[in-house]
Structures are given as structure tokens and as C-alpha cells.
Amino acid sequence: VSFTPAGLGEGTHTVTVDVSDVAGNAATQASWTFKVDTVAPVLSKTSPIDWANVIKPNVVITAVEAMSGLNETTTNFTLTGSVTGNIVGSGGWTGLVYTFVPTNNLSENETYTATMDVDDNAGNSATHLSFVFEVDVTKPTIDNLVPTSGAWVTTATPTVSAQIHDE
């Protein structure tokens, strides 16, 4: 016996088969369940967004997976520096949040590319995620204040200025 249902929705479905032969002998009923998951996980960058302001930033990716759950064993995460190449560290899932921590400090003079691929337990593959960020831990400085601190001015509309340096 074979049957192809049309348009099953996401989730659990139960099949029951009852049959009797021409003599009226009934088979033991067969009943089983199976699950439909046609939607792939969706990955998004959580941090850093464009810039990291610590020298050893956590790289955090969030997944949305509502049906079968993530198959964590299929996770393929890489962090690559434009100068240093592959960045070594440790990463893992806590629920639907993946966190990677580099072993060593990163450099301010480099662009980093994070990538991830992962499947759900049904075998649907997430769209490849790739994003870049840079590290900047140097604080900007402010100088050349006009008017100078404590100065008297002779107008009610003085020009006020400061020089900002961010290297």
C-alpha cells in the first residue's frame, strides 16, 4: 500500500494502516509517526557588529530553528585574519547561540572574516553566513579646545571647537 499526501504541514504526522483480507482476517493495525521539517535554520551575526572594542572578542552567531533543532555536529565555523590567516580558538553552542573565543589576542591592523555553515536535524542546510569585522581598542583623544578652559570671551556667539583624533 502506498499513498502520497499533498502538502503536509511542518510538524509531526501519524499514519495508521488497517487491512483485512478477502476472508475477513484483520491484520494487526500498524501506526507510526514521522516529522516534516522543510525550513532551513537561519543564521545571523550577533557580535561583533563591524567593530570589536576588545582585543580578544567573542564572536557570537544566533540561529533560528523552530522544528527539528540544530545538528551541532555539522557546525563548520572559521575565523580568518587578512594577515594572520586561520584564527585558533574554541567555540560551541548554548541553545541557539554559538560563541567562539579566540585563543590569542587579535590585531588592530587586520580585517577578520567569520563564516559558519550548519544543518538542522532534518538535514536542511542554513544559508552560508559570512561577515567581517575589525578590532579597535585605541581610545580617541580630544585636544585643542577653543575657547580654552576658563577663558573669557567677548561675544555671546563664540566659535567652540575641539580636535578629535582616532587612530
Q: Contact, 79 vs 104, CB < 8 A?
A: no
Q: Contact, 98 vs 75, CB < 8 A?
A: yes
pLDDT at 74: 96
63/137 Cα distance (integer angstroms) = 28
pLDDT at 124: 97
Start-to-end CA distance of the chain, whole Å, equals 73
Residue 52 has pLDDT above 80, yes or no: yes
100/118 Cα distance (integer angstroms) = 15
DSSP state of 37: -
Neighbours of 48 (CB within 10 A): 20
Query: In the structure grid, which three cell numbers stand for residue 128, read together?
Result: 552560508
Per residue in 86-145, pLDDT tens? 999 999 999 999 999 999 999 998 999 999 999 999 999 999 999 999 999 999 999 999
pLDDT band at 1 (very low <50, low <70, confident <90, very high): confident
Residue 167 has pLDDT above 80, yes or no: no
- Percentage of residues in the chain with pLDDT exceeding 70? 100
Average pLDDT, the chain: 95
